Amino acid sequence: MSGSLIIPGDSLPIDSRDSEIKTTIGPGIYKNPQTQSIIPTNAGVINVQQNKAKTTQLVYVESNSKRYIPQTNDFVIGIVTGVVGEAYKVLLQDFSTAVLLSMMAFPNATKKNRPNLKIGQAVYARVSQAIPEIETELECIDPTTGKEGGFGLLDESGYIFTVNLNFARELLFNPNSIFLEKLASRCKFEIAIGINGKVWIKCGEGIKLEKETSEEEGKTPRENTRDLKSTLAAARYLTKCQKISVESLDQVLDEAFKNV
């Protein structure tokens, strides 16, 4: 990967005493409250972005880790694990502290009109508050419109699998990423990417229970099996993408979709 490596103890390639430039620090950078010095705390690739007028700059370390730490405005996929008072307890990652999803944090929700989520269901949500000292909160409302905006319950015909955190960021943030583009050449799909490393994917009608299938008209069981197979193949493909270089991408795609 291009870009220069930085490890804890190194000096940042910026002049932090230069008061002309306003510096914003991102992941992997820490400001010591006592000395006011800015230091890198993680090992990874350093990124420095300056705006054209050279008045502001952004510094962060891009690195892979397995543990997800919620940050405000992250889009995440969580599993409902319980109810406390007027909020759901949502798990973003195994063995991590459960976060809160208020029942009022849904569009059109009132005291009387509550969302009906069951334990075990998955939701796509935005982190509305992430202060380390207190409990993290999620919401399922698009803050700009006040509407649903794609958040809310993820339907059960999709398949949830986990990817590395750095790969999840690539899929969600990089508009030029070729992984999903390649996948689109094979099947029609709906996808929700959580920055906490969970991905929900559904190809065609997705994975249907047998009971639902028989009720549905116009769809033959064969078509349903194909949707199921391609959903699993897509998940297999994306999981494998993390471990290969871009050159062998076509081969991996072929392998994953071999029996579909």
Partner 1 sequence: MTFQVRTSLLENVDGSAELQIGNTKVITSVTGPIEPKARQDLPNQASLEIVIRPAVDLASTREKLLEDKLRSLLQSIIVRYKYPRQLIQIVVQFLVSDTSSEGEIDYTSNELNAAINCCYFALIDAGVALSASFASLSISLNDGKATYNPSLVDLNKSDSHHVICFNIVKGKADKILLLESQGDIEEEELFTMISNAVSECEVIHQQQRKFIKEKVDNDYVWKQ
Residue 58 amino acid letter: L
Cβ contacts of 155 within 8 Å, gap of 6 or more: 202, 206
Work out how close the CB of 189 gets to partner 1 at its nearest, in angstroms, rounded to a whole number.
19
| Residue 28 or 78 with smaller CB distance to partner 1 | 28
| Residue 86 or 135 with smaller CB distance to partner 1 | 135
- DSSP state at residue 11: P
Q: Tokens 């099996």 — which residue? A: 225
Helices 249-256, 221-241: inter-axial angle, 10-degree rounding: 150
Work out how close the CB of 76 gets to partner 1 at its nearest, in angstroms, rounded to a whole number.
17
Give me the sheet containing 198-203, strands edge to edge.
159-162, 198-203, 189-193
Work out how close the CB of 16 gets to partner 1 at its nearest, in angstroms, rounded to a whole number.
14
In this structure, the number of other CB atoms found within 10 A of the CB of residue 200 comes to: 21
| Residue 2 or 19 with smaller CB distance to partner 1 | 2
DSSP 80-125: EEEEETTEEEEESSTTSPPEEEETTSSTT--SSS-----TT-EEEE
| Residue 16 or 225 with smaller CB distance to partner 1 | 16
DSSP 6-47: E-TTPPPSS-TT-TTSEEEE-TTEEE-TTT--EEE-S-EEEE
Work out how close the CB of 61 gets to partner 1 at its nearest, in angstroms, rounded to a whole number.
10
- DSSP state at residue 247: G
| Residue 61 or 203 with smaller CB distance to partner 1 | 61
Residues in the site for partner 1, rule: CB under 8 A?
1, 5, 7-11, 28, 30, 32-33, 39, 41-45, 63-67, 69, 95-97, 132-133, 164, 166-167, 170, 178-179, 241-246
Work out how close the CB of 220 gets to partner 1 at its nearest, in angstroms, rounded to a whole number.
37
| Residue 63 or 128 with smaller CB distance to partner 1 | 63
Work out how close the CB of 256 gets to partner 1 at its nearest, in angstroms, rounded to a whole number.
15
